[in-house]
Amino acid sequence: MINHLITQKNWQTQLSEAITSVDELLSALSLESLRTDVYVPKHFEMRVPRAFVAKMNIGDRDDPLLKQVLPDQKEQLNITGYVADPLGENAQNPVKGLLHKYQSRVLLTITGACAIHCRYCFRQHFDYSANMPTADAKEHIVNYITDHPEINEVILSGGDPLNVTNRRIFAWLDTLESISQVTTIRLHTRLPVVIPARLDDELLGRLSQSRCQIVMVIHCNHANEIDELTARYLQRVKAAGITLLNQAVLLKDINDSVEAQTQLSQCLFAAGVLPYYLHVLDKVAGAAHFDSDEQSSIELYWSLLAVLPGYLVPKLVKELPNKPFKVPLNIYEDV
């Protein structure tokens, strides 16, 4: 009944009613005893939509969804090698709001806001205030793309691009579709998983009418994130002719097992989504406790190849500063 009441609200209301209090979250899950293990961060506060909380198991301190969003005292540890800008994005920012790291595509940070604050987020220290594209910046972005004819794809990111209104998204679509060299527009978003109602008819209708190929890359780490309602919304996206892919992050003690990854790929496929990338953790300050060593990651990958068809095995990659591509892990090293 609680799930039904939450999901009947429109996505804007669900967004505004996200839980930002650690005490409220623990109380909702009957986990008040965990209070001494968590803290209230100042620079990257806790935020989690109630529709996502509704997918968590009451009383389970090891719930794989809870562990992704609950601030842990370990975030305060200074661990060598874990830094504020692990991907060197500040050096790939030629125009305000635009990142150009890969030859044929650019990424636009159209908002700094997210519906959910994942504790391993590699942009949790990113200076969004200095990188929000204004109306003037939009002209500079168009000029930059036009001056680089090798660019044919634009990625809308952030933050989360679906955190903004349809009006603002449609304005960006109009702008990008007016650039003849742009053939593909990609949206990187977690909102379809944490607030499925964001995939409303108006949004899907506009995306399906684009002259560009539309690719929606969702971020889902565990099969428990895809309940029946979420799957129905994702299937509607696929039915609208939009390519659906998933990128996950390999997280220690959350999804770093053959069973968890197998179930994730199968649930994604049933919802019309193809596994795309499985990222080893970006070494961002405050997230070292989520990291799984690369050798274990490679062993997991080989196990997945043995139990899943190839099209359900995501590419195991890491992202490194100043590399013009995602770097595949060397899975053949010990073969």
Q: What is residue 4's predicted lDDT score, i.e. its pLDDT?
A: 57
DSSP string across 56-122: SPTT-TT-TTHHHHS--GGGG---TT-BS-TT-GGGG-SBTTEEEEETTEEEEE--S--SS--TT-T
Q: What is residue 137's predicted lDDT score, i.e. its pLDDT?
A: 81
SS3 of residue 229 by DSSP: helix
Q: What is residue 72's predicted lDDT score, i.e. its pLDDT?
A: 92
Q: What is residue 334's predicted lDDT score, i.e. its pLDDT?
A: 55
Neighbours of 119 (CB within 10 A): 22
Q: What is residue 41's predicted lDDT score, i.e. its pLDDT?
A: 82
Decide: 39 and 70 in contact? Cβ < 8 Å.
no
Residue boundaries of the structural domains of the chain: 2-76, 89-328
pTM for this model (two decimals): 0.93
Length of the chain in residues, anyone? 335
Q: What is residue 96's predicted lDDT score, i.e. its pLDDT?
A: 86
The domain 89-328 is placed in CATH, from the list 3.30.465.10, 1.10.10.60, 3.20.20.70, 3.40.50.20, at 3.20.20.70
Rounded to an integer, what is the distance from CA 297 to the centroid of its chain? 20
Tokens of 178: 């007016």
Decide: 154 and 106 in contact? Cβ < 8 Å.
yes
Decide: 82 and 286 in contact? Cβ < 8 Å.
yes
Decide: 181 and 152 in contact? Cβ < 8 Å.
yes
- Residue 160 has φ and ψ, to the nearest 5°, of -125, 120
Q: What is residue 306's predicted lDDT score, i.e. its pLDDT?
A: 97
Strand runs labelled E in the chain: 98-102, 105-109, 153-157, 184-189, 213-219, 243-249, 274-279, 315-318, 327-328
Antiparallel, parallel or unpaired: β 184-189 and 213-219: parallel
**318 has which bridge partners?**
327
Nearest-angstrom CA–CA distance, 264 and 83: 29
Q: What is residue 319's predicted lDDT score, i.e. its pLDDT?
A: 84
Nearest-angstrom CA–CA distance, 177 and 171: 10
Tens of pLDDT along the chain (335 residues) come to: 346 567 779 999 999 999 999 999 999 999 999 988 888 788 889 999 999 999 999 999 999 999 999 999 998 989 998 887 877 766 667 888 899 989 999 999 999 999 999 999 988 876 666 666 777 788 999 999 999 999 999 999 989 999 999 999 999 999 999 999 999 999 999 999 999 999 999 999 999 999 999 999 999 999 999 999 999 999 999 999 999 999 999 999 999 999 999 999 999 999 999 999 999 998 888 899 999 999 999 999 999 999 999 999 999 998 877 777 888 887 776 54
Nearest-angstrom CA–CA distance, 176 and 169: 11
Decide: 77 and 288 in contact? Cβ < 8 Å.
yes
Tokens of 34: 């965990």
